[in-house]
Amino acid sequence: MKRMQCLQRTTMNLRESDVLQGRANQATEKVFIVYAHQSTGSFNAAAKDAAVEVLAGQGCTVEVSDLYAMKFKATATAEDIIGEVKNADHFRYAEETKLAWEEGKLCAEITAEQRKLTEADFIIFQFPMYWFTVPAIMKGWIDRVLTLGYAYSQEKRYSQGIFKDKKAMLSFTTGSHESMFSADGINGDMNVTLWPLQNGVLHYCGFQVLAPQIFWAPSHVPSEERSTMLEGWRTRLQGVLGEKPLSFTPMDCFDGEKGFQLKHEVHEKNATEEYGLTVGTHLGKALPPNNQVKAGV
C-alpha cells in the first residue's frame, strides 16, 4: 500500500514538474498572435484575449497583429515591392519578393510583420475557419509575409526549415459540430482538412507545429459551453510551450535525387505497419488516427 502511494505521489510530482517546466519555459518567450476576425465581440476575440492575458501573466511578451483592424492587404501584387521590379512583363511574385527582401525593398507592411515573426518564439494563428481553411485576409498574410528566401528556400524547408527553432499552432472556431468533421462525417476527417495548413504552410517553413486548438461550433452551443471552451483554452495555455509537437516525416527520409520520394529503406521499414506515416505520406494505408490534431506519445 505504501509502495502504491509512493508511486502515485511520484507520478503526481512528475506531472507537476512537467507543468512547472512548461511555465518556466514560457516565462521568457516572445509570442506573436496573428488574429483575423472582424468583431471585437466574437468568440475568436475572446480566445485571442485569453491567450494575451494568460501568456502575458506568465511573463511572456505578447504582440498581436489584428489583421482586420490593420486593414491588412490580402492580395499579393507588385505593390509589395518598393521601386521597379526585375521583370514587369512576366511578373513572378515569389522570385520578385525574394530579390526585394534581399535588397531591403519589400513594403513596410510586410517588413513589419516579418520583424514580429523573426522576434517571436511562438506564433498563434487565431481565426474562424472559412471554407475549410483560413479567412482570405489571413491567407494574404501567409502569401505576403512568408516570402521566398525569408521563410523558406529549396534547401531550407520542412524539418530543415528556417523556422525550426520556433513553435506555431492554429487556434480556430468551426461552424460545424465535431461529429461532422469525423472520418465518417459529412465534412470529412479534420485531420485531412488540416494537412495543407499544418504541413504545407507551417511545417514547410520549419515550424514545430503544436496540436491545434479547435473550438467546435461555438455559435451553436449554449453560453455555458462556450465558457467551458475558453476555460479549457486558458488551462492549456498554462503549459502549451511544454507540449510535444505533431509528428511529421523528416526531410532526410526522402530521396532528393528521385523527386523527393520516400527512401526505399524507410518504405520497407513501414511496410508491415497498420497505418501510414502521416495523413499525407500514408503509403496507401489507413490514415494514422489523430495525426493532425494530437501530438504523438
Give the max Cα distance, the chain: 80
* Confidence (pLDDT) at 14: 43
* Confidence (pLDDT) at 5: 42
User: Given 3.30.428.10, 1.20.1740.10, 3.40.50.360, 3.40.50.40, which CATH number is that of 26-243?
Assistant: 3.40.50.360
* Confidence (pLDDT) at 171: 98
* Confidence (pLDDT) at 219: 94
Under-50 pLDDT residues of the chain: 1-12, 14-15, 17, 19
Sign of CA dihedral 109, 114, 120, 124: positive
Cα separation of 39 and 79, whole Å? 28
Kindly report the pTM of this predicted structure.
0.89
Domain locations in the chain as residue ranges: 26-243
32: left (phi over 0), alpha (psi -120 to 50) or beta: beta
Which ranges constitute the DSSP H helices of the chain? Answer: 2-26, 43-57, 67-70, 93-102, 108-119, 136-145, 190-197, 223-237, 264-269
Cα separation of 1 and 135, whole Å? 56
